[in-house]
Amino acid sequence: MKRERQDEELTSNMEDYLEVILNLQQEQRVARVKDVAQRLNVKMPSVTGAMKSLAEKGLVNYERYSYLTLTAAGEKIAQEIGDRHRTFFNFLTKVLELDHETAELDACRLEHATSRKTFARIKEFTENFEK
């Protein structure tokens, strides 16, 4: 299946890292490798490797022993992923009436695997449903 996303070279794990960094910055003002590792339940060397890769792509500012920050491009992608997650979570809980735990897990999967066209239709449907 061909993805219709401009960031198609990013894996779902990389997208998760961007989303977590944005969330940490919004919650705590700063993001650190150990915080990302804890939030994603992965080991710190995994985060370090991902940060190096994301830095090479121009999405994260990363220096060893320093805070993590998103570049403008990284923040844009992270915000898009967050919007997709919230939309799918709302669809699953409000329209399909799934429990929050199931909806959270499924929203995480759907945010990475759904085309822009399908996402736009689900977002529009959910917004109209809530009205």
Fold for domain 12-74?
Arc Repressor Mutant, subunit A (1.10.10)
Name residue 90's amino acid: N
CATH 1.10.60: which residues of the chain? Answer: 77-130
User: According to CATH, what is the number of the domain 77-130?
Assistant: 1.10.60
- Collect the ranges in the chain with pLDDT lower than 50: 1-7
Q: What is the pLDDT of residue 73?
A: 96
Q: What is the pLDDT of residue 131?
A: 82
Q: Mapping DSSP to helix (H, G, I), strand (E, B) and coil, where does residue 3 land?
A: coil
pLDDT in tens, 33-66: 999 999 999 999 999 999 999 999 999 999 888 8
Please provide residue 70's backbone torsions phi and psi, each rounded to the nearest 5 degrees.
Answer: -90, 145
Angle at 105 between CA 67 and CA 9, to 5 degrees: 55
